[in-house]
Amino acid sequence: MTPARFLFIVASARRDGNSEALARHAAAQLPDIAEQQWLRLLNLELPPFEDIRHSGSGVYPSPEGPGRALLEATLWATDLVMVVPLYWYSLPARAKNYLDHWSGWMRIPQLDFLAQMAGKTMWAISAVSDEDYSVADPLLGTLQLTARYANMKWGGSLLGFGNRPGDILDDGNALQAAASFFSKGPLK
């Protein structure tokens, strides 16, 4: 049996933010055989996605640089963990740009991106600065629909309260939920 390979896509505009701290707490509970890779989108200069579907051939070139690194890591993973603080009731811009690039990857000849994504599991970990967690529904809806479109499993979401740096460490409920977060989903 192939061990689980978790790719943590950290999309915060702040280094070592609350969402990342919560994700690291959850990741520490993964079994030793589960592989982990962490990519911080802040460190990867992924260009803005350009939609060329209806111009020229509509075929996208194979990505280079940060795009290539993200594509390879995405395909490597069995589990994709979106570490995404809630920004204006949705995904941070870098996370949305990463997902927009999937539209191009789907159109690279011989890559068969969607077939390679099918069966993987998507997870969401987010810090919100409102005690009403329903404000994260648009963010979670985006990720759930993305998973469904790519024929991926939805592993679930882990939310915690954090506004100022380090606030998440005071959210005992979130830290307790993090301790068993990945054990509730479809580990491979």
**Residues 80-90 pLDDT 10s:** 999 999 999 99
91-110: burial string, b at 16+ Cβ within 10 Å, e else: bbebbbbbbebbebbbbeee
What pLDDT, on the 0 to 100 scale, is given for residue 44?
Answer: 95
What pLDDT, on the 0 to 100 scale, is given for residue 186?
Answer: 55
In a domain, 161, yes or no: yes
What pLDDT, on the 0 to 100 scale, is given for residue 188?
Answer: 36
Q: Could you give the CA distance from residue 71 to residue 67 in angstroms, rounded to a whole number?
A: 6
Percent composition of the chain: helix, strand, coil (DSSP 3-state, to 5): 40, 20, 40
Residue numbers of the domain that contains 174: 14-181
What pLDDT, on the 0 to 100 scale, is given for residue 187?
Answer: 42
What pLDDT, on the 0 to 100 scale, is given for residue 22?
Answer: 98
In a domain, 8, yes or no: no
What pLDDT, on the 0 to 100 scale, is given for residue 77?
Answer: 98
Number of structural domains the chain divides into: 1
What pLDDT, on the 0 to 100 scale, is given for residue 58?
Answer: 79
What pLDDT, on the 0 to 100 scale, is given for residue 185?
Answer: 62
The residue ranges of the chain whose pLDDT is under 50 are: 187-188
In a domain, 163, yes or no: yes
What pLDDT, on the 0 to 100 scale, is given for residue 79?
Answer: 98
Q: Could you give the CA distance from residue 129 to residue 160 in angstroms, rounded to a whole number?
A: 9
26-45: burial string, b at 16+ Cβ within 10 Å, e else: bbeebeeebbbebbbbeebe
In a domain, 188, yes or no: no
What pLDDT, on the 0 to 100 scale, is given for residue 71?
Answer: 98
**Residues 101-124 pLDDT 10s:** 999 999 998 999 999 999 999 999
CATH of the domain at 119: 3.40.50.360
